A and B are shown apart, each in its own frame.
Chain A
Amino acid sequence: MATDKYYVPESSPWPLAASVGLFMTAFGGAHFIQQATDPDKFQGSWGMPLFFIGLATLLFIIAVWWRDTIKESVGGLHSKQLGISYRQGMLWFIFSEVMFFGAFFGALFYTRWMIVPWLGGAGSNAMTHELLWPNFQAMWPLIKTPDGTTTQAMGAWGLPAINTAILLTSSITLTIAHHALLEGKRGKLIGFQAATVLLGVIFLTLQVEEYIHAYTEMGLTLDAGIYGSLFFLLTGFHGAHVTIGTIFLFVTLLRVIKGHFDSENNFAWEAGAWYWHFVDVVWLFLFVVVYWL
């Protein structure tokens, strides 16, 4: 039941607590990375526990924060206008995510169209090529770097194509679930949403399989030059977002079972769906420009 009055929540300890959690995550994380990757230079091992304590604190605080929000929503404190605020906020958040991926896609295009040809002597760079790495050949995927590291390119038509089919299917099942939500058909909603979550898990499993294959058999690693760097950061951040999206959809699935949503009051559900479609679209771009072309 929605009220007309805008709900301005009473004071809350969670933002401050979440900041403390974030602080420990960041401060611990920086030292964790240093101590783990360069143990000779950075003694000690306190970074890792601090990072995980921070992360656990952050996740726990966010969970109780959102539990409070859910209670308020179920308790009918949220007005229609607040629902609109949430929806707009989510859309702008997704826009920020688009720009985050944009940085890495931008790096990819700049590498393919500028850096690699220039290193190979294109444009006015004949002398750069001649003096720095005369044996370097411009190509994409860059399977041999200027300093001679070699790797293999990940083809598009094996696992990646299957993963594309899986994500596209998951978008369809989620849309069917969405229609079921709006029509109030609970059984159909639960079935198709569960299928979507399952498809997400399958996607992630295959992605892990692909990474293992890349590392153990193809020599395609993070330190195999710019192709590996871009491949793993783009697909890795995408995979992280699929993980978050899967958890998101799983939580809203539980809330569906608890009966929290109806055709009117369903912000969290739709936010999860939007997020999932966003992750899907990013994958399509990835498939085309990272794997295929």
Chain B
Amino acid sequence: MSTAATAHDDHHHHAPTGLKRWLFSTNHKDIGTLYLWFSFAMFLVGGLLAMVIRTELLEPGMQFVDPEFFNQMTTVHGLAMVFGAVMPGFVGFANWMIPLMIGAPDMALPRMNNWSFWILPFAFAILISSVLMSAFGAGHPSAPNFGWTFYAPLSTEYGPASTDLFILSVHMMGISSIMGAINVIVTVFNMRAPGMTLMKMPLFVWTWLITAFLLIAVMPVLAGAVTMMLTDRHFGTSFFNAAGGGDPVLFQHVFWFFGHPEVYIMILPAFGIVSSIIPTFARKRLFGYASMVYATASIALLSFVVWAHHMFTVGMPLAGTLFFMYMTMLISVPTGVKVFNWVATMWRGSMTFELPMKWAIAFVILFTCGGLSGLMLAITPVDFQYHDTYFVVAHFHYVLVSGAVFSMFAAAYYWLPKWSGVMPNKLLGELHFWSSLISVNLLFFPMHFVGLAGMPRRYADYALQFADYNFWISIGGFWFGLSQLFFLAVCVLCALKKGEKAAAKPWDGAEGLEWEVPSPAPFHTFETPPVVK
């Protein structure tokens, strides 16, 4: 791709400085940076909660926390990771990269962009405050304790007082996500440089466009679900109460109508990232670009008609069970297309294995593991055995941690030179990668075994026969958690601009507009749109 006009440092606008620069920003790069740091902070917070879980499960029996507090840990760990770490993380990448990739001066609606971000710290302040109050015995006696899926009646009839805080904070996260998604869609549709046709867009832009559509479609449904919870809790409505003619199962339907597209919201941008990185380091064009676009769209559309596969054991008419089972299995077709294309891109490429590529390849392999266990879970009679066991925990952590999170690490190592102007520290990066790769498998792989053997999820204790595996799972957990400190060091060094200076295009196989602006990317880029030929 070549451009007629390259970006230049713009001297007549001067960038705002100090605290105002960050608090009042209308700049997609600064807002992207804020999102990414926020996401990383929540990743560490959610990780700390997971450490509490793994400490308790290190040995059978009750050692460190009481079961009530354990339930709060699993709940808030899930919420912090899903809504605090993974979603905002991808929004951060979108903010930084989409305008650069399509040759736009900024996001389409810059002030709304800043609002989307600043809602998040406040929403999480509300949520996390209930954990702190619970942990230190002040105010609310319990943080949300019903699992991240907050099923009724656990969250309605039996929910702790902090449930109402949780509900309002979910509303805020929803507002933030919807505004962020509208911004992405409008930016992609309306801000592309001349010549940047839809089918020339980098796949990261495509996957984010489709993700944004999913967000706008399902975050309001989540808002509806928590609103019904709130009125059931305080205004006497009977949505989830069979005595009044409602049904707790209704909650599950509404929740999973949001929840299933939500899991694709957390993985489609990862597909886009990996589809950008693999061609760079295989030094070949992406194999099957158009099929990647269609596969992404198919996955997104199918995601609306598979939600009840989370509810096979709850019970539904046989026709429903069969429908949701077949639809779910159908998703593996477009997903398989993607995995095939990534492998075919690498086939006979001039491969090198810089850090982003290492993470991307680990992603392809480990995500595929998670995808295959997902296919197993899709088979209804088998799911009756697996449901709510550690097999499910293993499955979704393979796709979320060694899937979504690994893709974010890949993206960070890939684009950090562009953001900061310095190359990420190689030694720390290698340590981070290998240490994470080994520990993540030690952490999650044995969960398949204990799950198949019948260990249920969300319990603070377990039967003696699971003790050995759980010991090693916990060791893997602590190891994986500590490994992330390497990444913290990498990020801090880049933020302080310590390291080897990065060229405008630090990866010689890279293509795309983002590599045509200098590193670090100047405060304003593409104020005059480039012409894409």
Please report A residues at the B interface, Cβ cutoff 8 Å: 5-6, 8-16, 18-20, 22-23, 26-27, 29-31, 33-34, 37-38, 41-42, 65, 81-82, 84-86, 88-89, 92-93, 95-97, 99-100, 102-104, 106-107, 110-111, 114-116, 118-119, 123, 132, 142, 145-147, 149, 221-223, 225-230, 232-233
Q: List 22 A-B contacts (CB under 8 A).
A: A12-B24, A16-B114, A19-B119, A23-B123, A34-B164, A88-B185, A88-B189, A89-B183, A93-B178, A96-B178, A99-B221, A107-B224, A110-B247, A115-B249, A146-B243, A147-B244, A223-B235, A226-B245, A227-B245, A229-B244, A229-B246, A233-B231
Is B175 within 8 A of A22, CB to CB? yes
C-alpha gap A281/B224 in the complex (Å)? 19
- Contact pick for B165, options A27, A37, A85, A229, CB 8 Å: A27
Please report B residues at the A interface, Cβ cutoff 8 Å: 16, 20-21, 23-27, 104-106, 108-112, 114-115, 117-119, 121-123, 125-126, 161, 164-165, 167-169, 171-172, 175, 178, 181-183, 185-186, 189-191, 216-221, 223-225, 227-228, 230-231, 234-239, 242-247, 249-250, 253-254, 257, 317, 524, 527
How many Å from the CB of A216 to the closest CB on chain B? Answer: 17
C-alpha gap A37/B317 in the complex (Å)? 38
Residues of B within 8 A of A19 (CB): 115, 118-119, 121-122
Is B220 within 8 A of A96, CB to CB? yes
C-alpha gap A228/B108 in the complex (Å)? 42
C-alpha gap A89/B168 in the complex (Å)? 24
C-alpha gap A193/B243 in the complex (Å)? 47
8 closest cross-chain pairs (CB), A and B: A103-B224, A223-B236, A229-B237, A226-B245, A100-B220, A15-B115, A23-B122, A26-B168
How many Å from the CB of A111 to the closest CB on chain B? Answer: 7
Is A222 within 8 A of B164, CB to CB? no
Is A96 within 8 A of B245, CB to CB? no
Residues of A within 8 A of B109 (CB): 85-86, 89
Interface of chain A, helix or strand or loop or mixed?
helix
How many Å from the CB of B460 to the closest CB on chain A? Answer: 27
Interface of chain B, helix or strand or loop or mixed?
helix
How many Å from the CB of A133 to the closest CB on chain B? Answer: 8
- Contact pick for B225, options A89, A103, A228, CB 8 Å: A103
Is A123 within 8 A of B317, CB to CB? yes
User: Which single residue of chain B is at the shortest CB-CB distance from A105?
Assistant: B224
Residues of A within 8 A of B224 (CB): 100, 102-104, 107
Residues of B within 8 A of A14 (CB): 111, 115
Is A233 within 8 A of B119, CB to CB? no
Residues of B within 8 A of A223 (CB): 235-238, 244
Is A15 within 8 A of B246, CB to CB? no
How many Å from the CB of B232 to the closest CB on chain A? Answer: 8
The verdict on A115 contacting B250 (CB below 8 Å), with A9-B26, A11-B21, A226-B245 known, is: yes
Can you name 18 extra interface pairs (CB under 8 A) apart from A86-B109, A106-B254?
A: A12-B111, A15-B24, A16-B23, A18-B115, A19-B118, A27-B126, A30-B126, A30-B168, A37-B235, A84-B190, A89-B112, A89-B186, A92-B186, A102-B220, A115-B247, A146-B242, A222-B237, A232-B237
C-alpha gap A35/B138 in the complex (Å)? 18
Is B26 within 8 A of A11, CB to CB? yes
Residues of A within 8 A of B112 (CB): 15, 89
C-alpha gap A147/B191 in the complex (Å)? 57
